[in-house]
Structure 1
Amino acid sequence: MAESMVMVETPHNDFITDQRPERHIRLRSFTYDEIYAATHGFEVDRFLGQGGFGQVYKGFLDSTNQVPGQEVAIKRLDLQGQQGHREFVTEVLILSNVHHPNLVKLVGYCTSHGQRILVYEYMPLGSLNSHIHEYLMTGKLTVKIDIYSFGVVMLEVLTGRMARDERLPESERNLVAWALNFLRRRELDILVDPALQGQCSQPCLEHAFFVVSRCISESPNMRPSMRDVVASLTVMSEVRNRRRLDRGGRSTPTRTIALIGTLDAAHQQELALFRTLDAAHQQELALIGTTRATIREKETEESSA
């Protein structure tokens, strides 16, 4: 394998080099003016967050008046912080030789004007702690967390998929995130495991998915109690058992019809609640869209001025 070389400028205008027979990712060396332009002068609207070593801003590389450039996350290290320039250079050299689907890609760096700036690919869904399980975020175990976990297990059973499967396309690896899109559009035929086709009645199947949709709700307060979940599943089980008895001639159809009516009424209540939650979600998305449009109009006016 061919050797690769990375050179990073130091404050004394010399270079630290790294030469090793590893796979090299070409990094771009940015000027401070390029970084400044990409972040609109590190304006507040571009601020994404702050870590232990500095601030992170959203930027657009190589933008024109008509076309926005590549979205990036620009990490501006604190010059008074604990990480010195040599540690910064070491980080650049290491990251230049690291490439993995689970790691954020380093696009380039900037050392001009005495700055220490790293430019990463932009991840629109935020950091990992925005998506990890509630218990890992809060450190507290609650009944509602158990309800969520039960909903995930139930979803695995209904879909025949694992909660996380790296073998699938990226958009389908997270079972909950993938399933929510179809649950909101009520496209349940796409979700159901082919092995369950013909094993459950359509009303039971639909009701099961709506129970799941409540259990995995992002808001803990919107999740049902375990008592409600058990009641729903009990009725579904009764309907299935009665159907079997009816086919064997050991039960009256009237009892089964009554149970189906009970299930249908419960299903309609669940459906009404789901539609209410979905409407609130759509209103929230519309508000976010309006806010973003206003920000873009403001940026356009400022750039034209």
Structure 2
Amino acid sequence: MSISTIHPVETSSSYSPQTCRQFTFSEIELATQNFDESLVIGRGGFGKVYIGTITCGEVLLDAAIKRLESTSNQGAVEFWAEVEMLSKLRHCHLVSLIGYCNEEQEMILVYEYMSNGTLADRLHKRRASLTWVRRLKICIGAARGLDYLHTGTGIKHGVIHRDVKSTNILLDDNCAAKISDFGLSKIAPTNQPSTYVNTLVRGTFGYMDPDYFQTGRLTRKSDVYAFGVVLFEVLCGKQAVDRSIDEEHWGLATWAQDSIKEGRLGQIVDINLRGRLFRKCLKEYALLADRCLHSHPKQRPTMAEVVVCLESILALQEKTDSDQLLPTFFGRMVPTFLIPSNHRETSGRDTSVKSLELYLHAVGGEDRILNCFDFNTIVNATANFSEANMLSSVYYKFVYKGRLQNGQDITITQYSYASTYDECMNEASILVKLEHENVIQLLGYCIHGTEAYLVYDFALNATLDSLIFDPMCNLLDWNKRYKIILGVARALVYLHNHAPIRIIHGDAKLAKVLLDESFDPKMSGFGYAMTINDTDCIYVDSIRGTPGYVSAEYHMTLCLSTKEDVFNFGVLVLETVTGQRNNRFIRVANDVDFMLINLVRTEWLEGTLTNVIDPRIDADPILMTKFIEIGLLCVQERAAIRPTMKEVIGMLLGTLSLTLPVSEMRTRIINGVQPSDES
């Protein structure tokens, strides 16, 4: 084994003396367990990337090991360019090359391992969305790395990366950005910034500088153009080439620029960021990204100028988040999205909230007006919170029906005490983005002292639980119950698949179903709801839900998924058909106490479902059996075999049929497994 030591030309805090090590192929095989496919963490034009463990003296280090594939359009030129380039460059925002292997026709590069993957992964694939401040810091780090390359700090010549893109920006344990993949990089003199290099056009479609593509003249400004695309990618949450954009604008750069010209800046912001960006920061950021994409390279900023602009935007955003005194609710600051726009723009210290309109990003990203109601308006609408107008009360939350002076019927939820603060804010931030006939529509809000009120555009008649569990109530015949079940199912399908942001409700139960005078249902109670991206689940810190309605896997793993909503829906169906609560024990004839789910399973297996059907329902027992079977399919212990809500709709409408696993249900009953154990 030979060791090649790299000596930096000058001392700088941006880099430190390191060694570039030549590995044997047997060492690489050992590090990757003979290139075990389970260790693959990425794929690119060069080949597969494995996570491996290497030995440096007596220390074991995780490393990213990139192996050239025989089918790759890259080869020895790119391999040696990477080795030579990274052997000379050391900077905190460049990925470090630990070593390489060039043996037995193998070309392998060994880098420091970046645990948070690529920026592209975090923007487009992973569950947890990056905050706006974190995105700004990532952009600043990547810009600093590119500025170091362009200015040639510590080396005789500058470097043009030639393949700047989100997949080549890696994130370490702290999500600090590092530029990677120098296989296409070119040396450029540093004393003449406008100097170009004539070369064959190489790069990635969507990020490629049009001027470079047309002329073959590669300049530092070509990297600036590509970085401008990355800036829009970070802001919009869309890929550089995104087929979800209309066909004429599959290229993100053109679409974003056209949107800005047409005055639709708010519409292009990533749905996970809307309402969280200070308006001036958004405008400055968009202007910078647009300048980077200027058709004339000389009009584009240098990377040094980009760094300065981004740092200024970050400072302004952080100052807005921390220094500006905002109105408090339960002793805590009210989120920016609930502050009137003119209040947010002022620099004064007056923190009073007046009856102004609020501007929030709604469906499609357009600004939507949310009313800030005066407290006296709320008092008058509810007849001073009269008992006659109170329809529900749970812990520190109360639901009232009301009527405004203009005759508009409204529903009001009152939140009291600090324990409900997060629930209130979460509900408001989610509902402002949703619009569906079976989802309650948020109209406005009011903050008064230590209490907050969310106002909905809805004439509330009753909550579903108040009618189902009232043995003296005969208002809900089977046709009404069926309409309610179907409406709730449609609401959940919308949340899971079609809403502007995908939502897991997390607590879909009878008490969260509101009914109007025609018994049309509206889903409410989004205080526990969570947003999801490409996956169907998200890990949470603690269980948030109602005992008796929480599935086994959520309780045990803290994994909240769309199948949790399916489980909740199954309980809702069983409760609606039987008129019994699932979170209470039911005494049957033989003096055995059952939870509802297990009782229904037992009666179904024994063919005696008529024992559990609500006697107030006058409907065909065969039809009732079908609906109970749908409920039982939804509450199966294994989440993987529960139907999706789309499949549930098919079963409710009779276009899809699924079969219950009899043997599994029988085993659970014989073993005496109670739903209380699941929940």
TM-score, structure 1 normalization: 0.53
The question of whether the paired residues in 2 share the 8 Å contact of 1:59 and 1:74 is answered with yes
Show the counterpart of 1:46.
39
Say if 2:277 is the partner of 1:89. Answer: no
Distance in 2, Cα, partners of 1:20 & 1:45: 37
Runs of 5+ in structure 2 lacking a partner? 12-16, 124-233, 247-263, 287-305, 309-313, 340-360, 382-411, 415-443, 446-451, 457-511, 513-522, 541-553, 561-679
Distance 1:43 1:100 in 2: 31
Match of 1:275 in 2: 528
Q: Which amino acid aligns with 1:49?
A: G
| Secondary structure, counterpart of 1:57 in structure 2 | strand
Q: Is 2:363 aligned against 1:225?
A: yes
Which one of 88, 111, 119 corresponds to residue 120 of structure 1? 111
The one-letter code matched in structure 1 to 2:96 is K
Match in the other structure for 2:661 = none
Name the CA shift for 1:277/1:151 in 2 (closer, same or farther; >3 Å): closer
Shift of 1:88: 2.1
1: distance between equivalents of 2:9 and 2:59? Answer: 37
The separation in 2 between residues aligned to 1:287 and 1:141, in whole angstroms, is 32
**Mean alpha-carbon deviation: is it higher for 23-32 or for 118-127?**
23-32
Instruction: State the distance in 2 between where 1:28 and 1:102 align.
Output: 21
Kindly state the Cα deviation for residue 60 of structure 1 after the two structures are TM-superposed: 1.6
Partner of 1:266: 454
Counterparts in 2 of 1:54 and 1:226: CA distance versus 1, 3 Å? closer
Structure 1, residues 223-256: CA drift from partner, whole Å, max 9, x if none?
A: 952599724xx323xx4xx5xxxxxxxxxx6226
Contact 2:95/2:112, CA 8 A, preserved across alignment: yes
Q: Does the aligned pair in 1 maintain the 2:269–2:365 contact within 8 Å?
A: no
Counterpart position of 1:254: 376
Distance 1:122 1:45, change over 3 A: same
Residue 195 of structure 1 aligns to a residue whose secondary structure is: coil
Q: Deviations over 1:92-143 (max 9, x none)?
A: 0111112233332211111133321001122222223222443334254489
Give the secondary-structure state (helix, strand or coil) at the position aligned to 1:103: coil
Shift of 1:195: 1.4
How many corresponding residue pairs?
A: 226
- SS of the equivalent of 1:266 reads strand
Contact 1:25–1:98 at 8 Å: present in 2 too? no
The answer to whether the 8 Å contact 1:105/1:120 transfers is yes
Does the residue aligned with 2:529 lie in a helix, a strand or coil? helix
What secondary structure does 1:96 align onto? Answer: helix
Kindly name which structure, 1 or 2, has the bigger radius of gyration based on alpha carbons.
2
Listed as ranges, the gaps of 5+ residues in structure 1 are 1-5, 9-17, 168-172, 180-190, 212-222, 243-252, 289-305
Go from structure 1 to structure 2 and tell me whether the alpha carbon gap of 1:258 and 1:48 turns closer, same or farther (over 3 Å shift): farther
Q: Which amino acid aligns with 1:282?
A: Y
Partner Cα separation in structure 2 for residue 227 and residue 77 of structure 1: 43
CA distance in 1, matches of 2:10, 2:524: 56
Q: Report if the CA contact (8 A) 2:237-2:270 is conserved.
A: no
Q: Which has the higher strand share?
A: 2
Aligned to 2:470: none
| Equivalent residue number for residue 135 of structure 1 | 238
For residue 59 of structure 1, report the CA deviation from its aligned partner. Answer: 0.9
Change (3 A) 1:287 1:56: farther
- Which residue does 1:28 correspond to in 2? 21
Distance 1:101 1:50 in 2: 24
CA RMSD of aligned residues (A): 5.3
Deviations 1:253-273 (A, max 9, x none): 622656996624438999942
Counting only pairs closer than 5 Å after superposition, residues 163-182 of structure 1 correspond to structure 2 as none
How far is 1:166 from its partner?
A: 7.4
The letter for the 1-side match of 2:85 is I
Distance 1:150 1:166, change over 3 A: farther
In the alignment, what sits opposite 1:195? 324
Query: Partner residue of 1:146?
Result: 267
Contact 1:147–1:225, Cα closer than 8 Å, also in 2:
no
Give how far 1:32 is off: 1.4
Name the residue aligned to 2:357. Answer: none
- Are 1:75 and 1:118, in contact at CA under 8 Å, matched by a contact in 2? yes
Q: Find the counterpart in structure 2 of residue 235 from structure 1.
A: 371
2-structure distance, mates of 1:228, 1:20:
52
User: What residue is the counterpart of 1:292 in the other structure?
Assistant: none
- Asked if the contact 1:74–1:119 (Cα under 8 Å) also holds between the matched residues in 2, the reply is yes
Question: Is the alpha carbon distance of 1:272 and 1:193 closer, same or farther for their aligned partners in structure 2, counting shifts above 3 Å?
Answer: farther
Which structure: greater helix fraction? 1
What is the DSSP-based 3-state SS (H/G/I as helix, E as strand, rest coil) of the residue aligned with 1:111? strand
| SS at structure 2 position matched to 1:104 | coil
- Structure 2 length-normalised TM: 0.27
Using the TM superposition, give the Cα deviation of residue 75 of structure 1 relative to its aligned residue in structure 2, in angstroms: 0.3
